[in-house]
Structure 1
Amino acid sequence: MTPAARVQSAIEVLDAVIAAARREGASAERVAAEWLKARRFIGSKDRRAIRDLAWSAIRLCGEVPENGRAAMLAVAKNDPAVASLFDGSRYGPEPIRSDEPAAATGFAPAWLEEGLAASGITREQAAALLGRAPLDLRANRLKTTRDRLAMTLPVATERTQAPDALRLPGGTPVERWPEFADGLFEVQDTGSQLTCNALEVRPGEAVVDLCAGAGGKTLALAAALQGEGQLLACDIDRPRLSRLAPRAERAGAKVETRLLDPGREAEALVDWKAKADAVMVDAPCSGTGTWRRGPEARWRLTPAGLARYAQMQAHVLRIGADLVRPGGRLTYVVCSLLDAEGPDVVAAFLARNPDWRAAEQLVGAGTPRGAGLRLTPWDDSTDGFFFATLHRL
């Protein structure tokens, strides 16, 4: 494939990504994967180049571009090498017209930029949200230690702030390694690992992961339990929760799963009411802290959508709090840097519930924000998170 053909292919991928973002369809990763799957003749080197071009355009355009060509023209304005490939060659893009507009560049839609600024996010912190994320592993304490794992892996690793974390370059094919098949590690961002550490789970405790999803945090909590105690993982999403059982088996973790009906979660958890020592509430959120991994997500978020997230967050926090025994604790987590989804939700909960107190967070990273801590790529080299641990009196 010629360089010009790669640019044209990236434009077509972008067209598909933009269309999906407008209708709140599949993620850019999935859209690109489907586009490439339908074109098996494209070699691996060309696939990587096409993806890199497309993602460069996604990161550059704050607002949703009109189309893929306009998005790629924004890249071309900053990169003469890319501009030169708009040459009208076979399978390449048509030449750039003198009056042809490129997509507007920016960090995010204007309303979202304002929201992040109002939440204390600086321009440097905001720009770092669109960088390239490394790949972090969590050594599975049920089977190994970080030091032993580092010695067995086929590449050099770097230790991060989380006690079980190892960092590798992004894109390293770790899931092909025998150590992964043997359950010696899970892929998990250092920031996510730190939020699990904030709950301070101890062997023998009764623990609930309320919004478990596919179980990334669940497995970290299971490792902290060391095979002693109870661990219940819940979610309303059947396909995601169904992925936890094989992961737990590979990790050697004991986990009970429970599918919940939306709006009737409390009924399904009545047997756990006021019985849990510790509850993790990894609440659904906008994901503003994870744009390094899915930069097109900022094209999908709307003010109305953000308001719906805040309602859901208050809802699941109430449900989680009802499960905690007196003297127990709860960690509330969102992978968002907007105050409306983090500090404001916790502050409102504490104002309504005088029998709860915010606890001091000692995880080795983060900046105080409201009653909790904030992690950012710029300050902590992690995904963006807000989390707060609350104690029931």
Structure 2
Amino acid sequence: MKPSARLQSAIEILDAVFDGKRPADALIGDYFKARRFAGSKDRRAITDRVYRILRARAKLGWMAEQVEISSSPRILVLMDCIVQGEEVESLFDGDQYAPAALKGRELEVLAPLAALDIATAPDHIRLEYPEWLDADLRSSLGNDFEDVLTALNEEAPLDLRINALHPDADQAQGELAKQQIETDQGSYSPLCLRTRKKVKLGGIQAYKDGLVDVQDEGSQLIALLSEAEGAELVMDFCAGGGGKTLALAAEMKNQGHLYALDISSTRLYKMKRRLERAGVENVLLNPIKNEVDPWLKQFELRVDRLLIDAPCSGLGAWRRNPESRWKITSELLEDMISRQERILKSAAALIQPGGRLIYATCSLLKRENEDQIAKFLKENDNFVIKSVQEVWDNRLGTPCPFDGDFMIMRPDLHHSDGFFCAILERTN
């Protein structure tokens, strides 16, 4: 493809992304499935541009406002070309498969756009976050506000989790190397391998054979800190696509019973293929209507470990889903916080004395994390915090990278997505 044709492809993909119905990665995948003629370099260049624009959407929108022009996908691509120092008039040339030639106002703003200084923009523009979240972010992140938000706008690496159930688990890194996938050991999880380059795992034999699966290192740690080995009855209360379910099953060594629950039966049953590939045999899939589904009553005071991977703002995953930061609203956040409270209350009744409730989010907002735990403990004096350092020492035996009672994983410090995890034990 010519460079100008790549630009047109980026415009078309952004049009679909801004429609808001499906995530960018799925749209990009479908786009190229329908265009097999695009080579690997074309796909990479187009994908890089789309994600670069999504990560700079606030800045590019601000630039458009300064020169009083629309911020349509075409204009965003045009401004990205200017920021990258590309010769825009030769790229927007109107040839076949290329964007239409520049004209009128588009030509007039080229020089003013090039002269703009992003450093003069407000913080929510420079750091790419919704302005209404400003107070929450500053309160939650304190002096690390700018460092964390800068890191949340960087490209995320690809982390793999070694499947401990696989007979070749000890040779996973070597097996991947044989398949031209170079990796480095994760910094914290003994099961984490981080790829040095972006790869498409669908064609990799180690992935097809269930030797590795995709899972961020922070997410892996939540499963490890659940200490599910030897537990007879474990629940993944908001199982979703099953990443943590698979990790818990491996921790349990395929023993006991692991219930994967979710309100979406479609999403839940999609997990079947992953379970089969990983050789997981102790998982029971069960859709529930909501957090107070009568079906749950039978498990009161019976569960050894219950993981709540709570629905949340998803702020900690902005590196992977940069468009998601513009979909969250203040009303949606308040609804999420209310749901988290209800799920915690319902799940607490299921934990047996001596059992543990593990509450996790992929958020760094205190209102979704520390504040939720404080409120829960105030209303449930039969639960106590199990210090993450104590659990880390028992399960991993390496220096714990977290201070205080909770696991708070930050992209700027730990080079992971943003995660929070609290471990609560029932005393009676």
TM-score, structure 2 as length reference: 0.84
Q: Where does residue 353 of structure 1 map in the other structure?
A: 380
Which AA in structure 1 matches 2:213?
E
Contact 2:189 2:217 in 1 (8 A): yes
- Per-residue Cα deviation, 1:116-152 (whole angstroms, up to 9, x for no partner): 2221142111111121111111111112465421122
Q: 1:387 to 1:134 in 2, by over 3 A?
A: same
Q: Where does residue 130 of structure 1 map in the other structure?
A: 153
Q: 1:63 to 1:368 in 2, by over 3 A?
A: farther
TM-aligned CA deviation for residue 180 of structure 1: 2.0
Contact 2:292 2:346 in 1 (8 A): no
CA distance in 2: counterparts of 1:365 and 1:130, whole angstroms: 26
1:373 aligns with 2:407: yes
Which consecutive residues of structure 1, in runs of 5 or more, have no partner in the other structure? none
Which consecutive residues of structure 2, in runs of 5 or more, have no partner in the other structure? 62-70, 393-398
CA distance in 2: counterparts of 1:54 and 1:123, whole angstroms: 24
TM-score, structure 1 as length reference: 0.91
Q: Where does residue 173 of structure 1 map in the other structure?
A: 200
Which AA in structure 1 matches 2:302?
K
Contact 2:160 2:193 in 1 (8 A): yes
Contact 2:153 2:319 in 1 (8 A): yes
TM-aligned CA deviation for residue 258 of structure 1: 0.8
CA distance in 2: counterparts of 1:132 and 1:365, whole angstroms: 26
TM-aligned CA deviation for residue 228 of structure 1: 2.1
Contact 1:206 1:275 in 2 (8 A): yes
TM-aligned CA deviation for residue 234 of structure 1: 0.7
Q: Where does residue 70 of structure 1 map in the other structure?
A: 75
- What SS does the corresponding residue of 1:307 show, helix, strand or coil? helix
TM-aligned CA deviation for residue 112 of structure 1: 2.5
CA distance in 2: counterparts of 1:286 and 1:63, whole angstroms: 22
Contact 1:131 1:292 in 2 (8 A): yes
Structure possessing the higher relative contact order (Cα contacts under 8 Å, 6 or more residues apart): 1
- What SS does the corresponding residue of 1:296 show, helix, strand or coil? helix
- What SS does the corresponding residue of 1:391 show, helix, strand or coil? strand
1:111 aligns with 2:116: no
TM-aligned CA deviation for residue 223 of structure 1: 0.7
CA distance in 2: counterparts of 1:382 and 1:146, whole angstroms: 23
Q: Where does residue 287 of structure 1 map in the other structure?
A: 314
> Residue 320 of structure 1: which of 347, 372, 387 is its match?
347
Q: Where does residue 67 of structure 2 map in the other structure?
A: none
- Percent of matched pairs sharing the same residue: 36
Q: Where does residue 212 of structure 1 map in the other structure?
A: 239
TM-aligned CA deviation for residue 79 of structure 1: 1.3
Q: 1:63 to 1:299 in 2, by over 3 A?
A: farther
1:43 aligns with 2:53: no
Which AA in structure 1 matches 2:288?
L
TM-aligned CA deviation for residue 77 of structure 1: 3.7
Q: Where does residue 80 of structure 1 map in the other structure?
A: 85
- Per-residue Cα deviation, 1:330-377 (whole angstroms, up to 9, x for no partner): 1101011111211111111111111111111034555447x5221011
> Residue 182 of structure 2: which of 151, 156, 161 is its match?
156
CA distance in 2: counterparts of 1:64 and 1:356, whole angstroms: 48
Q: Where does residue 16 of structure 2 map in the other structure?
A: 16
> Residue 27 of structure 1: which of 19, 23, 26 is its match?
23
- Which has more radius of gyration? 2
CA distance in 2: counterparts of 1:293 and 1:245, whole angstroms: 24
Q: Where does residue 259 of structure 1 map in the other structure?
A: 287
Count of matched residue positions in the alignment of Structure 1 and Structure 2: 387
TM-aligned CA deviation for residue 279 of structure 1: 0.6
Which AA in structure 2 matches 1:80?
G
TM-aligned CA deviation for residue 222 of structure 1: 0.8
Which AA in structure 2 matches 1:377?
P
Which AA in structure 1 matches 2:206?
E
- What SS does the corresponding residue of 1:286 show, helix, strand or coil? coil
TM-aligned CA deviation for residue 207 of structure 1: 0.8
Q: Where does residue 97 of structure 1 map in the other structure?
A: 107
TM-aligned CA deviation for residue 109 of structure 1: 1.7
TM-aligned CA deviation for residue 172 of structure 1: 1.4
